[in-house]
């Protein structure tokens, strides 16, 4: 959304805003009828979203300080204090436009990186930051601007409940969250393609048709909250993180605000705007003074502030955009599916692939979507998000892997499209060559991350592995080499900033925990402890709330005393310690050590809210202490 002052939206203000919104649609129709739009030229552009990270590769909530330091009008805020956005200059779609896009991207990321460095931070381009934790997603990390707070308030009110996320991929993640900050996990590289009103419907449908295979080649977001999920997890997460539908609306299959669409458009851009106004309630509103019809009557071009604001709260994966270029209006298609990273070169290569396909397929006498069901285009999109280059894609009646489709047909088509608009040949080779090598090797950003995590196995803690992954990503990114040339990230000893991996309980606690319920028989608990060589077992209820702890020592005492509890029908609840001492994942490690020493306890459950999330035992502390001592002695010898 643009920089606008958003007030709390009461009923009167919402009604007034709706009137302005409808006025904008009527005026837009007139503007289209009188041919007041820029035609005969195509432009391309992009928006770059990025993460701010600290020296531990964790989110750095310093966006306001970075913006103050940078003083660059291209840089602006996003939802979270650890997100940053850059808006690039539009380029006429020909000659050296792609190279100019890459040069400006490198420049603006460099400006942001230099400003971040003075704030103790750095810039990382990735679809989802691997080191993110749920604790980072509180309202304290929301960018302090009224429009974000109002957006959160309205989304919560419309939904009437917490946001629920369930994503099944390589692993499964199910969580709930009480605010909209889940959206801030996602950063993208959004590309814009300007078209004339008369050809909008054709180009919009083409964008929908090619989105699946393009995404398959560009996936770069395989992990969320330390779970390996879809190759482009952003797609699943974004759809759920701003889902305003109540259960009643879900039950009747109402469309979510983030969506791909339900069919090819037939008429033009008004069809999309009208559909979105009819389906989606106003989220935020502000006072609009403009009378668009009066502006048109005076020979001017309206801003359409109400229409643009509402359009910014409906998140189509290919979004219709209205804008102004001097004294001319223009229409753009904003493709929102591409993730940030892995490098600037990779991003511009993804954009070149999209632009080239759009240019080429528009020249076909019979556009591809005429012989393609919309259901296939939609399936291609979600298949690509889940499986990357291995995804099944249906194209012109044939089904094959995205890898085969891209190498066998689409790269050649995109090359012809870029040649047709006279993009420099060396640039075509540079960018489409990058796509070709990435696809041929099967090494997308997502696959590189998954390969790296597999190579690390169970070495170190989960925190160390994901920090190592992020550190390798940042180092490779700064080299500028495209992702298909990167060596797999490996965990060789402790990272240089080893202390940062063991600062809090959540960084080294065990999350692969075995639990029983109070109604289970003691024999089950005893056998689990024997099989898994553990000395404590945690007791939880059906909702995942910790209710007790059963120790190996308690079992030994029971047997030694010949207690009647040893009968076959005895339950865990009869022997467990009820309501044991617990800590939160943010407790500093030194305090954990002190607490366990002073209380004489060898097992400390970790809870978040009222839910069990991990456990720390004496064995964990011995491992941590050993690693820290080894690293300290190694540093002392250097």
Across 182-211, average pLDDT = 97
Note the pLDDT of residue 129: 98
Query: Has residue 374 got a pLDDT over 90?
Result: yes
Give the whole-angstrom CA distance, residue 448 versus residue 417.
29
Count CB-CB contacts under 10 A for residue 635: 12
Q: Which of 22-31, 118-127, 168-177 has the lowest mean pLDDT?
A: 168-177
Note the pLDDT of residue 418: 98
The interaxial angle of helices 97-117 and 63-70, nearest 10 deg, is 110
Give the whole-angstrom CA distance, residue 434 versus residue 493.
33
pLDDT category, 256, cuts 50, 70, 90? confident
Quick: pLDDT tens for 471-485: 999 999 999 999 999
Quick: pLDDT tens for 560-595: 666 554 555 788 998 899 989 999 988 888 889 889
Note the pLDDT of residue 305: 95
Quick: pLDDT tens for 279-319: 888 888 888 999 999 999 999 999 999 999 999 999 999 99
Quick: pLDDT tens for 518-534: 999 988 888 888 888 88
Provide the β-strand partners of residue 127. Answer: none
Note the pLDDT of residue 405: 98
Give the whole-angstrom CA distance, residue 504 versus residue 135.
12
Most confident range, picked from 167-171, 616-620, 628-632: 167-171
Cβ neighbours of residue 363 closer than 8 Å, sequence gap 6 or more = 417, 420
Quick: pLDDT tens for 537-547: 999 988 888 99
Q: Which of 72-76, 339-343, 444-448, 515-519 has the lowest mean pLDDT?
A: 515-519
Query: Has residue 32 got a pLDDT over 50?
Result: yes
Note the pLDDT of residue 281: 86
Note the pLDDT of residue 7: 43
Quick: pLDDT tens for 382-404: 999 999 999 999 999 999 999 99
Give the whole-angstrom CA distance, residue 414 versus residue 351.
11
């Amino acid at each position: 959304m643009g920089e606008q002052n958003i007030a709390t939206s009461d009923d009167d203000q919402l009604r007034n805003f709706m009137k302005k919104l409808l006025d904008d649609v009527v005026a837009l129709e007139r503007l289209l009828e009188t041919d007041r739009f820029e035609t005969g030229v195509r432009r391309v552009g992009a928006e770059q979203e990025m993460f701010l990270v600290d020296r531990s590769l964790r989110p750095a909530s310093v966006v306001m300080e970075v913006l103050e330091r940078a003083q660059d009008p291209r840089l602006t805020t996003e939802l979270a204090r650890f997100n940053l956005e850059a808006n690039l200059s539009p380029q006429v779609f020909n000659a050296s436009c792609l190279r100019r896009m890459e040069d400006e991207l490198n420049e603006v990321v460099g400006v942001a990186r230099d400003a971040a460095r003075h704030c103790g931070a750095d810039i990382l381009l990735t679809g989802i930051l691997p080191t993110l934790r749920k604790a980072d997603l509180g309202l304290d990390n929301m960018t302090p601007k009224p429009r974000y707070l109002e957006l959160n308030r309205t989304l919560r009110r419309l939904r009437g409940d917490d946001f629920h996320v369930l994503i099944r991929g390589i692993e499964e993640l199910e969580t709930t969250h009480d605010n909209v900050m889940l959206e801030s996990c996602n950063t993208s590289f959004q590309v814009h393609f300007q078209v004339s009103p008369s050809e909008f419907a054709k180009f919009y449908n083409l964008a929908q048709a090619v989105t699946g295979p393009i995404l398959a080649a560009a996936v770069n977001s395989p992990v969320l909250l330390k779970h390996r999920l879809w190759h482009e997890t952003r797609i699943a997460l974004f759809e759920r993180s701003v889902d305003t539908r109540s259960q009643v609306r879900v039950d009747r299959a109402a469309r979510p605000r983030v969506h791909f669409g339900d069919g090819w458009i037939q008429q033009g851009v008004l069809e999309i705007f009208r559909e979105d106004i009819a389906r989606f309630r106003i989220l935020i509103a502000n006072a609009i003074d403009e009378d668009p019809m009066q502006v048109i009557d005076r020979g001017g071009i309206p801003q359409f502030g109400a229409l643009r604001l509402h359009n910014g709260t409906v998140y189509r994966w290919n979004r219709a955009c209205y804008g102004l270029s001097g004294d001319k209006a223009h229409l753009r298609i904003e493709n929102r599916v591409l993730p940030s990273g892995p490098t600037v070169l990779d991003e511009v290569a993804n954009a070149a692939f999209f632009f080239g396909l759009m240019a080429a397929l528009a020249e076909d006498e019979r556009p591809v979507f005429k012989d393609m069901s919309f259901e296939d285009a939609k399936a291609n999109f979600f298949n690509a998000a889940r499986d990357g280059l291995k995804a099944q894609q249906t194209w012109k009646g044939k089904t094959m892997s995205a890898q085969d489709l891209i190498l066998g047909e689409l790269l050649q088509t995109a090359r012809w499209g870029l040649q047709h608009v006279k993009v420099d040949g060396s640039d075509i080779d540079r960018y489409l060559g990058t796509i070709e090598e990435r696809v041929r090797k099967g090494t997308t950003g997502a696959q590189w991350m998954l390969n790296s995590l597999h190579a690390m196995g169970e070495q170190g803690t989960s925190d160390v592995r994901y920090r190592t992954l992020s550190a390798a990503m940042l180092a490779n990114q700064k080299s500028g080499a495209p992702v298909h040339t990167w060596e797999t990230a490996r965990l060789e000893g402790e990272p240089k900033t080893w202390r940062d991996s063991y600062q809090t309980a959540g960084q080294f606690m065990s999350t692969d925990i075995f639990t029983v319920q109070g109604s289970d028989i003691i024999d089950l608990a005893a056998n689990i402890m024997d099989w898994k060589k553990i000395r404590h077992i945690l007791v939880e209820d059906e909702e995942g709330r910790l209710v007790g702890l059963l120790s190996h020592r308690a079992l030994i005492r029971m047997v030694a005393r010949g207690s009647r509890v040893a009968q076959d029908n005895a339950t865990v609840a009869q022997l467990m310690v009820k309501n044991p001492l617990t800590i939160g994942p943010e407790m500093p490690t030194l305090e954990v050590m002190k607490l366990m020493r002073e209380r004489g306890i060898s097992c400390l459950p970790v809870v978040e809210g009222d839910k069990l999330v991990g456990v720390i035992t004496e064995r964990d502390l011995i491992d941590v202490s050993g690693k820290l001592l080894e690293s300290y002695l190694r540093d002392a010898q250097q």
